[in-house]
A = this chain, B = another copy of it.
């Protein structure tokens, strides 16, 4: 069960679909350069050159450099992340795990691997979030809304079976993602040292499982 990586989704994105070949290459060049050197340190000329187009072309469709950034980030917020979340929830529903331990391990490993596969893209997101918090709000709102329904039913059985603490589902999600984020962010940012997904998953889960064990 392999997840689709962001780049593929990006290429097929609905908003991206009606762009010409050149405009798509502008978008891709922006993604690459923003990730590598940051938004502010990337000039529109850099983008044009990497995309193999004229500078005018960069502005013809995207109007401003900021518009280009939005065009890079929006698919993530409105399409890719939600789709990924959905894909993930579906996968979880289709492969039911007998116990919460296996479930958690699968989930953590999967999302961690996902993030590792898409480091570059994550980095832009993190960089922009640090500057413009509204992006983060938009994204978390959107994801919260998406997960709200899905996770309740997922967690319900495990709670019944006494394998999972009877907390509000979103609190559990926050804890788990908090720990993962605390682990991943330093790694994503210092991108030269990739993470050992298996080892980290084991460590994280051992810790999470005892934290999430039901109180007797």
Q: Which residues of A contact B (CB under 8 A)?
A: 38, 40-41, 100, 104, 123, 126-127, 129-131, 133, 136-137, 140, 159, 162-166, 171-172, 175-183, 185-186, 189-192, 203, 207-215
Assembly CA distance A165 to B214 (angstroms):
4
A-B contact pairs, 19 of them (CB 8 A): A38-B40, A129-B189, A140-B186, A162-B214, A163-B214, A165-B212, A165-B215, A166-B214, A175-B179, A175-B212, A178-B181, A178-B183, A179-B179, A180-B182, A181-B181, A209-B212, A209-B213, A210-B210, A211-B212
Of chain B, the residue at the smallest CB distance from A182 is B178
Assembly CA distance A114 to B115 (angstroms):
30
Question: Is B41 in contact with A164, judged by CB distance below 8 angstroms?
Answer: no
- Residue among B140, B185, B192, B209 making CB contact with A211, cutoff 8 Å: B209
**A142 to nearest B CB, angstroms?**
14
Assembly CA distance A140 to B164 (angstroms):
34
- Residue among B104, B133, B186, B203 making CB contact with A190, cutoff 8 Å: B133
**A135 to nearest B CB, angstroms?**
10
**A99 to nearest B CB, angstroms?**
12
